[in-house]
Amino acid sequence: MIKRIMLLVAALGCQACGQETIEPYKVDSFAGREIPAAQKKAAQALSIGNASALTYSDSPYTQAVLCDVATDTVLGPYRNSAQLDQTQQAAMAQLLELFDKRAQTQAREAQKNASELAQDRESLAEQFMPTRPAKAKVALACIREIEGFGDLPGI
């Protein structure tokens, strides 16, 4: 079920990015070529599900807040969508609840009250993921992490 949600997030993220035309990819175009570190870093920044906003964040609290904001922004509007069946809606609700609970838990551990958490949700989102496509990338990275495909230690 999480894989279906990941696909939904990826589709919504791509939808948020616009209607750019993508040229066909040639499979052997990089065969045997060493790719410079700068190009690798640029490609990672452009990839779907890039977690750079999360890896550059300074604490598990920040990561939890970013995941909560990103998933709520991207998936929240579709929580009760007629486009999803009941199983998908239930999975989405569980996912959103999981990230909310993690943010709440990390806030308590960081000794943040509800007002501070609300303020941090806005300021951290603006700092690390100011656009909807950025939020979609972070949401996908967070979902990938809970499914075991990511490499974020605190998520």
CB distance 56 to 128 below 8 Å: yes
Q: How far is CA 113 from CA 58, 120, 121, 142, 154, in A?
A: 19, 11, 12, 24, 21
Task: Band the pLDDT of 20: cuts 50, 70, 90.
Answer: very low
**Is 59 or 45 the better-scoring residue by pLDDT?**
59
Tokens of 59: 């604490």
Structure confidence by residue, pLDDT tens digits, 55-97: 667 789 999 999 999 999 998 888 778 888 888 888 888 999 9
* CA torsion, ordered 112, 52, 22, 28, to nearest 10 deg: -150
Residue 27: phi and psi, rounded to 5, are: -60, -45
Task: Band the pLDDT of 153: cuts 50, 70, 90.
Answer: very low
The Cα diameter of the chain in Å comes to 54
